[in-house]
Amino acid sequence: MTDEHDSPRPEDDAARLGLVVVGEAAALHSGDDAALDASEQNIIDTIDDLVDEPLTDRQEQVVQRLASAGGTLTAGLSGALAARSGRSVDDVLEGAARSVLWQQRLADGDGDAGGQQREDAGGQQRDRRDDDGRDED
């Protein structure tokens, strides 16, 4: 029988996967082949660590592609947010990683997430828009 503290909580696994996706997005933005290869290996290693039983080849490919697709979406959205906000993509991705960790702390029952204020990715506050979708001053 295993102790309940021996296995990670689903929230911890989700945070780990979230950080893998952010890492994939950072690798995509870097354009560095070595970073992309390392990110792909990180996806594979993370999946291997998280599953209780070996996946079939097809299941493993699907999960890897889902993680990669999440990274691609994150890369695209972070690039768009960076362009819109005048911040660097690195700042936006750092904010995304902080958001993942904040969510994990919140799941730990730490209502104020370690005393940190909740921020949108990249430290951006939501734009205020009127009913027509225009920015308010």
**CB 22, CB 100: distance < 8 Å:** yes
pLDDT tens-digit series, residues 50-74: 888 889 999 999 999 999 999 999 9
Q: Which residue type occupies 27?
A: A
What tokens were used for 136? Answer: 């308010």
What residues does each domain of the chain span? Answer: 10-114
* Owner of token pair 């945070």: 15
Q: Which residue type occupies 22?
A: V
User: Which parts of the chain have pLDDT scores under 70?
Assistant: 1-7, 110-137
Q: At 93, phi and psi to the nearest 5?
A: -65, -35
Please tell me the distance from the alpha carbon of residue 13 to that of residue 104, in angstroms, as a whole number.
9
Handedness of CA 37, 98, 72, 135 (dihedral sign): negative
Q: Which residue type occupies 110?
A: D
pLDDT computed for residue 62 by the predictor = 95
